[in-house]
Structure 1
Amino acid sequence: MITRSSLKHLRIPFSLFLLPVFLFALAFTPNLNEERLLLVFMILHLFLYPSSNGYNSYFDKDEKSIGGIKNPPKVTKDLYWLSLVFFMIAIVLSIKINLAFASMVTLYGLVSMAYSHPLVRIKKYPWLSWLIAGLFQGYFTFGMAYAGLSDFGWDILFKSHVMIPGLLTSLMLWANYPLTQVYQHEEDAKRNDLTLSRKLGIIGTFGFSASFFLLTAAGFAWFFLSKNQENILWVYLASMLPVVLYFLIWFYFVKRNPEKYANYSWAMGMNTISAVLLNGFFIYYFLENTQIMQVLGAY
């Protein structure tokens, strides 16, 4: 029997926060196909990511707020099996595209399982977990989505036109990743998980993320200018301005009272505003970069 708590722990709406990576890959897809687009979207956002969420929730057994759930219900055994079923569905559906894409989906799922599984538990290693989470949720996911959308194989991950934008998405995630841990210090300490945010401290976490946000902005500025897309750069900077303002306001309050303001509500607010604006920007970029807007304007 599938319990309501297990369905909640899948955190399907939380996939919104990783959608920008998919949309960015979509903007460069040379073999755009409506059926593959829908299939890759479903595989990643309705099955693979929820599977990862549920599996990690099962082993973490958090009692306080986690990403997407302010008051997580107690996990039950069916969550473990449900997460594996979702993983299997993701793999089976990905075979419909090609075996290479299916193997990428499988690797992503196994790495995400290792993040919280007690035999490996990458989560307890601060720098390694930061590196792997950003690399797989950014660059690898970008390449995986690109391969699935275009019906390509593993070799596409090592092409410069995939590696460069893929690494830019990793920069975004490396900047934001420690902020997602800043309100979980107490829970992580109970399990002896020395996350990067615990290692850096609350103030150090904000300083670290700020430096990577600047690096990300510089990287995207270089990328758009190198493609002679100065107008796109201005839209990107305008989209990120509210995120920067939110971050600075949050940081101001945190410096005054870290225990009070380094909390779930502020962190989820940061994630939500950045996800909404990035999704909006990358939809716009997809329409512009594929010249769909120009085609529609001709009619």
Structure 2
Amino acid sequence: MALSISHNLSEEAILWLFIILHIFIYPASNAFNSYFDKDEGSIGGLKNPPKVDRNVLYMANLFDTLGLALTLWFFWGNWVLAAMLVVYIGVSRAYSHPMIRLKKFAFLSWFIAGFFQGAWVVWTVYIGLNDFAFSSLFKAPVLIPGLLASAILWGSYPMTQVYQHREDSKRGDYTLSIRLGILGTFHFTAICFAVATLAFCLYFQAYWQLFYAWHFLLAMLPVLLFFGWWYLKVLKDSSMANFTNTMRLNFISATCLGGFFLYFFLHSSHVLNVVGLY
């Protein structure tokens, strides 16, 4: 999404931002939260997570440091990008650290996780690629795509918690999914996804071309079909709201959305035309 709305693209900047985020910052966030959560049941992509020790915390600190060091090295002078990454790291750590532990506040953690993993990341990448002032984020063509990314995450976030009720309750983390209940989580996600999908279609119609909206709907179809099948299963047996089905939904939605945004970037930026593939 961030690539598609950026005007000053370079292969090196794209590569380094990918490395900084996906090789260092994201894994550090995962490791830091895993250290303080100390999950014993299925969590994230791990059905049987290993026990964590201080080495996990040390690696999280090391990876965050390396990620910021690479940012200052390659994007030298882009202090806005560095500051936005520092804010992301700080919020990510506040999510699980016992001194703050945003995770125990159902609606606050839902809003903050969706905002910073969605809009904030889109805007951070946009700043990194274009080296614009922070004020550029308040322009509608940049502001709206970020909020749309968050809208998707606000819908999917409670679904990632639907099988963790017992594990979260043991730590006193009464998540949004616990508050909503299993069926309530499904209903909440369905409403959020419907609103987000409509918003995406209106965005494509207003700022791009209507056929992108149809392609977006087509990309979301497998997600809708699996979600509907899963919901019917849970209606008959609540134990079907388990780790396996949650990971299946995550995989399908990540693949479909990731595939669509890759297509959207390649097509809208005319990269396919340049290489003669379209």
TM-score by length of 2: 0.96
Residues 141, 207 of structure 2: 8 Å contact kept? no
* Cα distance, 1:228 vs structure 2: 4.5
1:163 and 2:140 equivalent? no
Alignment deviations for residues 159-200 of structure 1 (CA, whole Å, 9 cap, x no partner): 221110000000000000000000000001100101000000
Q: What is the rounded CA distance, in whole Å, between the counterparts of 1:135 and 1:108 in structure 2?
A: 10
1:64 and 2:60 equivalent? no
Q: Given residue 82 of structure 2, which amino acid in structure 1 is its aligned partner?
A: A
The gaps in structure 1 that reach 5 residues or longer are 1-23
Between stretches 224-233 and 197-206, larger displacement belongs to 224-233
Q: How does 1:136-215 map to 2 (within 5 A)?
A: 136-215=116-195
* Alignment correspondent of 1:225: 205
Alignment deviations for residues 124-172 of structure 1 (CA, whole Å, 9 cap, x no partner): 0000000000000011110001111222232232222111000000000
* Alignment correspondent of 2:53: 76
Q: Given residue 182 of structure 2, which amino acid in structure 1 is its aligned partner?
A: I
The gaps in structure 2 that reach 5 residues or longer are none
1:282 and 2:257 equivalent? no
1:42 and 2:19 equivalent? yes
Q: Given residue 147 of structure 1, which amino acid in structure 2 is its aligned partner?
A: I
Q: Given residue 35 of structure 1, which amino acid in structure 2 is its aligned partner?
A: E
Q: What is the rounded CA distance, in whole Å, between the counterparts of 1:273 and 1:176 in structure 2?
A: 12
1:51 and 2:31 equivalent? no
Q: Given residue 286 of structure 1, which amino acid in structure 2 is its aligned partner?
A: F
Q: Given residue 212 of structure 1, which amino acid in structure 2 is its aligned partner?
A: C
1:122 and 2:102 equivalent? yes
Q: What is the rounded CA distance, in whole Å, between the counterparts of 2:114 and 2:53 in structure 1?
A: 29
Q: Given residue 156 of structure 1, which amino acid in structure 2 is its aligned partner?
A: S
Residues 28, 60 of structure 2: 8 Å contact kept? yes
Q: What is the rounded CA distance, in whole Å, between the counterparts of 1:228 and 1:188 in structure 2?
A: 42
Q: What is the rounded CA distance, in whole Å, between the counterparts of 1:295 and 1:240 in structure 2?
A: 28
* Alignment correspondent of 1:92: 69
Number of residue-to-residue matches in the alignment: 275
Q: Given residue 277 of structure 1, which amino acid in structure 2 is its aligned partner?
A: C
Alignment deviations for residues 29-87 of structure 1 (CA, whole Å, 9 cap, x no partner): 10001111001111111111100000000000000111111110000110011001001
- SS of the equivalent of 2:44 reads coil
Residues 140, 157 of structure 1: 8 Å contact kept? no
Relative contact order higher in (CA < 8 Å, ≥ 6 apart) = 1
**Counterpart among 33, 40, 51 of residue 10 in structure 2:** 33
Alignment deviations for residues 195-216 of structure 1 (CA, whole Å, 9 cap, x no partner): 0000000000000000000001
Q: What is the rounded CA distance, in whole Å, between the counterparts of 2:201 and 2:71 in structure 1?
A: 34
Alignment deviations for residues 212-249 of structure 1 (CA, whole Å, 9 cap, x no partner): 00001100110111124111111111110000000011
**Counterpart among 255, 272, 278 of residue 293 in structure 1:** 272
